[in-house]
């Protein structure tokens, strides 16, 4: 397995993407995940956002990342596809991200559904809307040889039956699952059981713990956590994460474990990194 992190960790620190690359290099982490901005924004342009605008040249960015010894594990184009505006905004966004990602050498793109039940649609209607969207997206993804990951994050994707149905929207090895240990837990699911059911479809993992206070306040009521303000190992989900790592190892998962937690400008994500490395070592799981 490999260790990476999502640049969301440094949203609150107002770091830019290159500073995240520097952190990765300093901490011997070689995989990074970030959000894609379809356009430009003032906060990004001023260097206060750790995500990347697709106006940035992807080949030049790839060369810059090479100098830091870092590559993308995945880019995040997760505009919700479950609502009425999914085909209008989400599908074109993902399709543009495919072209950009290909030139950066990135072979995975995260997609997802909305956090809540879509307004004005029945569940059946929303699922059929997503089916058509994913069929269109995966057709192009196959041409680019880029995996489209369905991230466990929202109203449908944290439901194990629904996400199983979504993964069968298209019979293709390019439609896979981005497991999220924190979102499954906060949605009231058992992350271990959730993973066991779909481990053969997992191509990328978000490793996320949950604080006791957050779990007590919203578990079973929310479906996703933007960024966990809890270091790995410090929350009530740590034992589940440990067991999930064992399951992944048993199924010979050789992808990236992407840490998703608040960084606090370094200290909290460094604590998470130390815990993850120590845990993998205790479980005799090799890290590449």
Compute how many other C-beta atoms are within 10 angstroms of the C-beta atom of residue 216.
9
Domains of the chain with bracketed CATH: 2-282 (3.20.20.150)
Number of H helices, E strands in the chain: 11, 9
**In this structure, what are the phi and psi dihedrals at residue 153, rounded to the nearest 5 degrees?**
-150, -20
Q: For the chain, report the end-to-end CA distance as a whole number of angstroms.
A: 6
Q: What string of DSSP letters covers 100-154?
A: HHHHHT--EEEE---SSPPTT--HHHHHHHHHHHHHHHHHHHHHHT-EEEEES-S
User: Is residue 270's pLDDT more than 90?
Assistant: yes
pLDDT digits (tens, 9 = 90+) for 115-169: 999 999 999 999 999 999 999 999 999 999 999 999 999 999 999 999 999 999 9
CA 206 – CA 152 distance, rounded (Å): 9
pTM score, two decimals?
0.97
pLDDT digits (tens, 9 = 90+) for 162-198: 999 999 999 999 999 999 999 999 999 999 999 999 9
Spatial neighbors of 197 by CB under 8 A, at least 6 apart, are: 160, 164
């Amino acid at each position: 397995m490999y260790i990476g992190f999502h640049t969301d960790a440094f949203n609150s620190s107002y770091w830019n993407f290159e500073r995240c690359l520097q952190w990765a290099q300093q901490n011997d982490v070689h995989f990074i995940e970030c959000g894609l901005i379809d356009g430009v924004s003032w906060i990004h342009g001023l260097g206060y956002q750790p995500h990347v605008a697709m106006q940035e040249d992807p080949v030049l960015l790839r060369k810059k990342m090479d100098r830091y010894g870092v590559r993308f594990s995945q880019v995040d184009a997760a505009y919700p596809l479950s609502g009425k505006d999914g085909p209008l905004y989400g599908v074109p966004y993902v399709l543009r991200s495919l072209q950009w990602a290909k030139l950066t050498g990135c072979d995975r793109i995260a997609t997802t559904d909305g956090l809540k039940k879509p307004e004005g649609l029945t569940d059946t209607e929303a699922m059929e809307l997503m089916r058509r969207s994913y069929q269109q997206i995966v057709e192009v993804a196959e041409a680019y040889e880029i995996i489209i990951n369905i991230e466990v994050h929202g109203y449908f994707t944290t439901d194990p039956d629904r996400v199983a149905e979504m993964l069968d929207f298209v019979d293709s090895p390019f439609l896979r699952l981005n497991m999220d240990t924190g979102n499954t837990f906060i949605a009231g699911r058992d992350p271990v059981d959730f993973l066991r059911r779909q481990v053969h479809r997992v191509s990328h993992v978000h490793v996320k713990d949950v604080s006791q206070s957050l779990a007590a306040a919203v578990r079973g009521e929310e479906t996703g956590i933007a960024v966990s303000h809890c270091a790995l190992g410090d929350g009530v989900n740590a034992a589940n994460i440990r067991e999930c790592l064992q399951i992944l190892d048993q199924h010979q998962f050789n992808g990236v474990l992407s840490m998703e937690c608040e960084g606090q400008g370094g200290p909290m994500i460094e604590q998470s990194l130390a815990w993850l490395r120590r845990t993998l070592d205790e479980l005799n799981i090799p890290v590449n």
